[in-house]
Amino acid sequence: MSSAPASDPAPQAPPAGDDGGPPLARRRLREALPELLYELRVEQGTPARHAVAVALGAFIGCLPLYGLHLPLCLGTAHLVRVNKLLCYLAAYINNPLTGPWITLAELELGHLVRHGTMMPLTLESARAASLWGLGADLVLGSLLVSAAAGLLSGFLTFAWLHATRVPPRVGALIESAARPYVRSGMRHWEFVRGKLRWDPVFLALLRDGIIPSGGTLFDVGCGRGILLALLVAAEKQHAEGEWPEGWPAPPHDLSLVGIEQRGRTAGVAARALGGRAVIEVGDALEVPMPACRVAFLLDGNVRLAGTTFRIAAELIDCKTGFSRWTQSFDRSIDDVFAVQSEIAGAAVSALTKAMVLAGDGNHDADNAKMPVGGTTNAAAYDAYLRGRALFNLSESEATDRAALAQFDAAIVADPEFAAAHAARSRTLIVIANFYADAHSTPAIYDQAIAAAEVSTALAPELADAHSALGLALSQGRLDIRGARAPYDRSYDLGQGDAPLIARFALYCAMTGRESEAVPAMARALELDPLNPLVHRAMGIVLYNARRYADVIPRVSQALAMNPRMGDAHVIIGNALFLLGRDQEARVEYLAETSSLVRLPGLAVIERKLGNDAAARSALDQLIAEHGDSALYQQAQVFAQWGERDSAMAVLLRARTLGDSGLIYARNDPMLDPLRQTPGFPQLLQDLGFD
């Protein structure tokens, strides 16, 4: 089958120690230790369990069982299922500074209970006391003091945690944003977690909907990149349906850039964000900023209370910094789209009065209307945004099917939501290509084509609808010629849509229109340089153009932005294989998450390395796992093995069953051994390749 539509959709490092760095064992220990500490730190994390852990630790710590506190804490905490680390730390209530005083208090309290009086603190009384008597006083007193210390510390811990608790979904958002910092060390995780929890500004930016969607956000003096990490976590959590109730949707389609002068601190931010943001090291006064020409700024915020929200809008003169117009809008949530038009009209009216316009022009505020292919249904739009965020992860069957469920929900809420139909069509294509068996794919392709046709019928001027139709025709019906018109139409209508332009470029690259493919991809990267899907698409275009050395850094950049992206390592592996860098190629194939493309890569490289048994095993596993859904990949393997007749037989069967992988046949380097094989040119002609 084919790979995912790349926009709807490093080379391997040398072995540890070979570059003069720490030995492999030490590196692994250094990487594993923060993870171990993190697991110990967050184990059993409810307030009640933390209170019990502290109470147990304080109780054990006050017992005069020196040398046994650690095993007692670990064993007891394990039995009652509370945090072991917290329990042991609480036991440090008894330390070299407090230990003598605790012991003295225990002796005195035990003596008081047993004899009714305090024990005199004199040398004579100590000499007169028997060893058994002192022991009995100490045992009884230690039990009483330990119980009191445990109860008091547990109560205070629970009271503090209960008073400072945050709603579960807000707590999950904080944890999701802070979690990536563990790899840099626990102190960074503790700092970020504490900052997000106690500094009210960060969460207020999301709770009040202050940051808009789209464009590029520059965090000048970003430090550890806390705001950027919060925005990344927010988009993911919203897509998963775990967003705090009453909060507006977080900003989406936002490119993130951080600027930090301190190199080490910037490094912490870069490691935590993992390519989801660009971190520039340097003085903010010297780092180049994109040029912008802004005369007026429309600012505002949204506050939601129950089913009512208030939008405060303000028009600011950027030359003077003074407000030229401000107005508040109180509306029901059902009127969210109507108020968009109302605000737009009021803003246009205010802007028209503020500017000196040449000619009369048409500035009628009533012309504000819903975008082409959009919706006026808030629930439909919310589901659509969640689906897009899930689909753009490009990670697994689970995320793609979750995206499909969201698009279906959007269509149920608004059956005339053309953009949701187009997104549903693309998602069905990916599911058919990667996860469905050969018997069910035709029905799924039919659904995808039908959804795309509905989208174009509902919104003939929606670029995304035509792009979805082109994709569905080319991959669902192998109608290469028929897909050209909708793809070209989508490109004409969607000049500002980077993923759409990337899909057009991929089609051009696969059909021999290289002179159009590369410039189109350059345009897509210019529009959205921080989108890993666009970088992967550029890698595929370069691969089709046989520019293998250029493929590797481009797709490596995509992986740096999204390390879990599928169908990326295999592209690098293929490029390395065709460059003759076989061992590096094998490493990349092994790292690929999708078995549909990983196994054919391994079958090819193992045969070239002389490991015939491993090569045959990989091919057998491919057939066992994917069957006829992987006919195109089987043909790639046979072609590279030199078994041309077997390769052609499999390709002809793939043609009969409608394997969408055949859309790559014209330019696929893995099929180069078949170019002069009888029947192959005719196959390309039958598929509609010119």
d(CA 556, CA 563): 9
d(CA 67, CA 79): 20
* Type of residue found at 323: S
DSSP label at residue 676:
T
> Per-residue pLDDT for 14 more than 50?
no
Q: Has residue 658 been placed in a domain?
A: no
For 316, how many CA atoms within 13 A lie in the half-sphere containing its CB? 13
Last residue of a domain, one of 354, 369, 390: 354
> Per-residue pLDDT for 341 more than 70?
no
Q: Has residue 370 been placed in a domain?
A: no
DSSP label at residue 21:
S
d(CA 93, CA 86): 12
Q: Has residue 141 been placed in a domain?
A: yes
Same domain, 327 and 277: no
Same domain, 235 and 315: no
Same domain, 187 and 131: no
Q: Tell whether pTM > 0.75.
A: no
pLDDT for 414 equals 93
pLDDT for 585 equals 94
Alpha helix segments (H runs only) across 43-98 = 47-62, 69-80, 84-91
**Continuous segment of H or E residues that includes residue 174:** helix 168-178
Percent of the chain with pLDDT over 70: 81
**Domain of residue 184, residue span:** 168-281
Task: Look at strands 216-220 and 296-305 and give their pairing.
Answer: unpaired
The distance from CA 429 to its chain's CA centroid, rounded to whole angstroms, is 22
Nearby residues of 384 by Cβ (< 8 Å), 6 or more positions away: 375, 406, 407, 410, 417, 419, 420, 423
Task: Look at strands 278-281 and 255-260 and give their pairing.
Answer: parallel
Phi then psi dihedrals of residue 300, to 5 deg: 175, 175
Q: Has residue 52 been placed in a domain?
A: yes
Model confidence at 568, pLDDT cuts 50, 70, 90, reads very high
The better pLDDT of the pair 411, 326 is held by 411
CB 237 within 8 A of CB 176: yes
Same domain, 49 and 158: yes
What digits encode the pLDDT tens for the residues 313-323?
Answer: 666 665 555 55
Model confidence at 444, pLDDT cuts 50, 70, 90, reads very high
What digits encode the pLDDT tens for the residues 570-612?
Answer: 999 999 999 999 999 999 999 998 899 999 999 999 999 999 9
With b for 16 or more beta-carbon neighbours within 10 A and e for fewer, the 93-116 pattern comes to: bbeeeeeeebbebbbbbbbbeeee
pLDDT for 132 equals 84
How confident is the model over 550-558, as a mean pLDDT? 92
Same domain, 115 and 48: yes
Phi then psi dihedrals of residue 43, to 5 deg: -55, 135
> Per-residue pLDDT for 642 more than 70?
yes
Same domain, 225 and 252: yes
> Per-residue pLDDT for 54 more than 60?
yes
Sign of CA dihedral 577, 583, 586, 592: negative
What digits encode the pLDDT tens for the residues 142-167?
Answer: 899 989 998 999 899 888 877 777 78
Which CATH number belongs to the domain containing residue 242 in this structure? 3.40.50
Nearby residues of 160 by Cβ (< 8 Å), 6 or more positions away: none
What digits encode the pLDDT tens for the residues 78-115?
Answer: 888 888 888 888 898 988 899 889 988 988 898 888 88
Residues in the chain: 690
d(CA 71, CA 531): 50
Same domain, 255 and 179: yes
Same domain, 344 and 252: no
> Per-residue pLDDT for 10 more than 50?
no
Same domain, 157 and 48: yes
The better pLDDT of the pair 330, 134 is held by 134
Last residue of a domain, one of 338, 354, 370: 354
How does the average pLDDT of the chain come out, rounded?
A: 82
Last residue of a domain, one of 128, 163, 198: 163
Same domain, 179 and 146: no
| DSSP code string of 295-328 | SEEEEEEEEEETTEEEEEEEEEETTT--EEEEEE
The better pLDDT of the pair 357, 430 is held by 430
> Per-residue pLDDT for 8 more than 60?
no
What digits encode the pLDDT tens for the residues 393-441?
Answer: 777 888 899 999 999 999 999 999 999 999 999 999 999 888 888 788 8
Model confidence at 304, pLDDT cuts 50, 70, 90, reads low
pLDDT for 124 equals 74
Q: Has residue 570 been placed in a domain?
A: no
How confident is the model over 114-138, as a mean pLDDT? 80
Same domain, 152 and 200: no
Percent of the chain with pLDDT over 90: 33
pLDDT for 358 equals 29
Q: Has residue 256 been placed in a domain?
A: yes
Model confidence at 296, pLDDT cuts 50, 70, 90, reads low
Q: Among 522, 515, 434, 505, which residue's Cα sits nearest to residue 471?
A: 505
Strand partners, 329: 311
Q: Considering its fold, how many domains does the chain have in total?
A: 3
> Tokens 């490691």 appear where?
271
Same domain, 251 and 268: yes
Task: Look at strands 255-260 and 296-305 and give their pairing.
Answer: unpaired
Q: Has residue 217 been placed in a domain?
A: yes
How many other CB atoms sit within 10 Å of the CB of residue 367?
Answer: 11
Model confidence at 636, pLDDT cuts 50, 70, 90, reads very high
Q: Has residue 262 been placed in a domain?
A: yes
